[in-house]
Amino acid sequence: MPFVPAHQLPPEPTRLGWHFAFVGKDLLLPLREAPPLLAATPGFGDAASGRHYLGQLDGLDCWALLLPAVPAGWQALPLRAAMMQLPPAQSALAARAAQVLEWDRSHRFCGVCGSATLLQPQERSRLCPACGHAAYPRVSPAMMALVWRPGELLLARGPHFAPGMYSALAGFVEPGESLEDCVAREVAEEVGVRVTNLQYYGSQSWPFPHSLMLAFTAQWDGGEIVPQPGEIEHAAWYALDALPDIPPRFSIAGHLIRDLVARMQAGGVEAAQAGGPGCQA
C-alpha cells in the first residue's frame, strides 16, 4: 500500500505507527537491531516538543516528532546519513518529517507582524491571529541539468562535495523564471556553455533544505567550459566508460546519470534524445 499523506489524525488511529523522531536536524535510529522507527508508542513520545501527523504508510499512522535530547538506546544521525540506511519508503518519509518540523520551528512567529502563530486543524499551516497571515511549509523548486554530447557527459563538483565526487549541474529557480529559463541560465553561469534539446527526466523531494529537484537532460549547443568561481570547483567532459565518482541512486542525480549513460550506450545519440520517463519540456 503506498503512502497516503494527511494532516489530521483519522478517527481510529492504528495501534502501531511509524515515528520519525529528531533532535535538532538529526534523525534518531535505534542502537540495536529492531524494526526501526515502528512502535506502538515510543517511550520518549511524551517528551516531544513538536508532534505532527503525516499520514499512513502501509495502513499505519506516521508521525514526526521533535525531542529535546537523545533518549537511551537511540543514536542521532545527520539526516542524509540516516536516510541512506532506511528503505526508500521510510527514507522519503524521514525527509517529509524533517521539512514539516523545520516549517513548524521557523514559523512560530508571524513574518509580517511578529505575533505568535497558531497551528490550524483543517490544513497544514500556521495562522497569525493578529494580521491573518498564513504560513505553509516551504518548497523551493530547483532544476538539475545533465549536459551531454555524443559519447560524453559534462559533470562538475562543488566545493562542498565529498572528495572525488562529481554530479550534474543544479540551481534554484528564481522568481518569474520558467524551468527552461532556469536551466539555460544556471548552465551558462556555472560552466559557461549553451544547451538545447531540454528533456524532462523526473523529480525528487529533497530536504536539504526544502527543495523539489526537477531533473533534465540537455544537449550541448556550444561554448567551452568555464567554471564559475566559488560555485564550481572543477568541471569537465567525461567519456561514458570513464566517469568519475557519481552520487548513489539514493539521489535523483544518481538515477539521472546512470540512466542517461545506459540509454546512450544502448542507442547512441538517438536514445539520449528520447529523454527520460517524463515528458519533453
Structural domain boundaries in the chain: 4-100, 107-137, 140-267
Whether the pLDDT of residue 109 is over 90: the answer is yes
What is the CATH architecture of 4-100? Alpha-Beta Complex (3.90)
pLDDT grade, residue 137 (50/70/90)?
Answer: very high
Predicted confidence at residue 72, as pLDDT, reads 83
Pair type for strands 126-127 and 134-135: antiparallel
Percent of the chain with pLDDT over 90: 78
Q: Are 67 and 46 in contact (CB under 8 A)?
A: no
User: CA dist 224 to 143, 191, 235, Å?
Assistant: 22, 8, 11
CA distance 276 to 255: 10
Q: Are 169 and 161 in contact (CB under 8 A)?
A: no
Percent of the chain with pLDDT over 70: 90
Question: What mean pLDDT is reported for the chain?
Answer: 90
Identify residue 62 by its one-letter amino acid code.
C
pLDDT grade, residue 221 (50/70/90)?
Answer: very high
140-267 matches 4-100 in CATH topology:
yes
Contacts of range 260-266, beta carbons closer than 8 Å, 24 or more positions apart: 260/146, 260/148, 260/153, 260/217, 261/153, 264/148, 264/151, 264/240, 265/240
pTM: 0.86
pLDDT grade, residue 97 (50/70/90)?
Answer: very high
User: Mean pLDDT, to the nearest integer, of 249-260?
Assistant: 95
CB-CB neighbours of 77 under 10 Å: 15
Q: Which class would CATH give 140-267?
A: alpha beta
Q: Are 178 and 107 in contact (CB under 8 A)?
A: no
Coil, helix or strand at residue 82: helix
Q: Comparing 65-74, 99-108, 149-158, 257-266, which segment has the lowest mean pLDDT?
A: 65-74
Copy the grid coordinates of residue 130: 493578529
pLDDT grade, residue 278 (50/70/90)?
Answer: very low
Q: Are 94 and 52 in contact (CB under 8 A)?
A: no
User: Mean pLDDT, to the nearest integer, of 7-34?
Assistant: 88
Whether the pLDDT of residue 204 is over 50: the answer is yes
Predicted confidence at residue 272, as pLDDT, reads 47
Predicted confidence at residue 277, as pLDDT, reads 42
Q: Comparing 34-43, 65-74, 99-108, 167-176, which segment has the lowest mean pLDDT?
A: 34-43
CA distance 92 to 209: 14
Q: Which residue has the cell 502563530?
A: 117
- Greatest mean pLDDT among 6-15, 198-207, 268-277 lies in 198-207
